[in-house]
Structure 1
């Protein structure tokens, strides 16, 4: 179980905006008090000599207890990039002749992107799959990450960036789209 305090936070700040609307400064600030409490659990279960299932789950409560940010009292609000829950599940099959398959599903709850604004991510679930053949010296894998091409945001910002009025709006950094590939590994013996 995790139980601790946190005080560091980051925010976007542009003190030179007058006359230089496209300037940008990243500012790190300290909250007076924060509290982080959480628990994680993991399970691996071998159903047969060939087939395994497993997963993990985490619960987190990360809040500010005392933090004034640009005149806003954020006491009681969740800290950025601290989803309340996350989980991961997998199924893994390995045939004695070297064939294998693995399915992974991982998800996370919504979270605040920053302490400087109220923009939040959306909850999302990603699915990865891998099929392959392994011998003593060679492994060939066909894989897909983000199999269902889920659109999700990893980072988010809220500020004015577009002329002529530079009205504040949401900008996000997208997570990786679906990727499909083949991996070939050879071990020299």
Structure 2
């Protein structure tokens, strides 16, 4: 019996491939910050995010902002991962063996360590507000909080970040 399909749809839409290529690095960078510097987990979360989007690509491709949706899926994948028992692994100071073209690597490492010491929700708020440059309303929608809740959490998270940085804050360069 011949089991050929008559569907003319390609197995992998070219539009999705272009979207994944364009968004891949951005997703990994955001996940890297969310995970407190765990490059391998960041890549896993980005890949998981693209896998989830691929399964819904027809609907996602018709959205007004597929990139924003991808960031939301990434954040929810990160929060879901943090709730699992297997997520209690400790991040080490060993990073992926890739070259970083950073004008101030000490600042970068100090901030990554400090972000890694913050609670998950605080880290998520700071990354969305300051790295992704999202408004309080957009962040509230992603985190399922009120906009005023996001503003107060941002304020508390910045206070915690300053407390974690402590004396190192004075050593950081000022703009």
Query: Please, what TM-score do these two structures have when normalized by structure 2?
Result: 0.23
Question: Larger RCO: Structure 1 or Structure 2 (Cα < 8 Å, ≥ 6 residues apart)?
Answer: 2
Task: Point out the structure with max Rg over C-alpha.
Answer: 1
- Normalized per residue, the structure richer in strand is 1
